[in-house]
Structure 1
Amino acid sequence: MKNIPKKQFAGWMLMLLLCISTSAFAQSPKKVTGRVMDAQGELLIGVNVTEAADPSNGVVTDINGTYTITLKGNKPSLKFSYIGFKDKVVAVGSKGVLDVALEEDVAALDEVVVVGFGTQKKASVV
């Protein structure tokens, strides 16, 4: 310490602190909010919104069809899934607000007929 001048030591300490603080900001998580709706613009309640790379990081849309999720990945994509609708994966990029419209999956829904003693598929009734 005696060989290093005080000004030079202070300069190195300042550089070290700047490097530490910028790396801390680079690691900060990103929050994304938005709404999920169907093709007609009706808000959907209870849609699963997960990070595509990390399915354990997810939320569900509230009664207003809105969600807020904190992303962990570097290049995150969000996966939206809901019963009766096709799954949709959307790249987030630099967006902070992401509204999504889901498309109905009519092939996944079978027509059901209620009979007097139970339920059966329509094809088995005819």
Structure 2
Amino acid sequence: MDVADSIWNRAALESGGPTPGAGDQALAAALRLHSSAMSGGVLDAVENMTDEELDAAEAGYRWLHVPAASEAIAAVRRAIADGALDDPDAASALELSSENHYDEAIEDDAALDNAFRARLSTDPEAFSSV
């Protein structure tokens, strides 16, 4: 296992570890949302995560240089705040559009891994040592 794999696993399994750097925190937050979205869908993830977790995920995606993923989450949050879940048709449309918008930004796990590895290569000091 290489250093990147160790950092990824620490972010996924230990929320970045006991003394996470900014990169560890960003990756852990993005992975938390990504895992939830892959499990139950983007809308479900946004509905079930706290505002603090969602804020951290949005910031994490921006830090990882994937602003489209951050915007996808922000758009779902805005739609919910605007009452999209009050109308079944609007809720159904939001569910579909949120999946499409997120998938355009993060098409699979490899896309998130690539974003992380690129940031690790340019900013390794942002991650705690392994």
TM-score > 0.5 by shorter chain:
no
Bigger CA radius of gyration: 1
The structure in which a higher percent of residues are helix is 2
Which structure has more RCO (C-alpha within 8 Å, separation ≥ 6)? 2
Considering fraction of residues, name the structure with more strand: 1
What's the TM-score, normalizing by structure 2?
0.25
Please report the TM-score for the alignment, with normalisation by the length of structure 1: 0.25
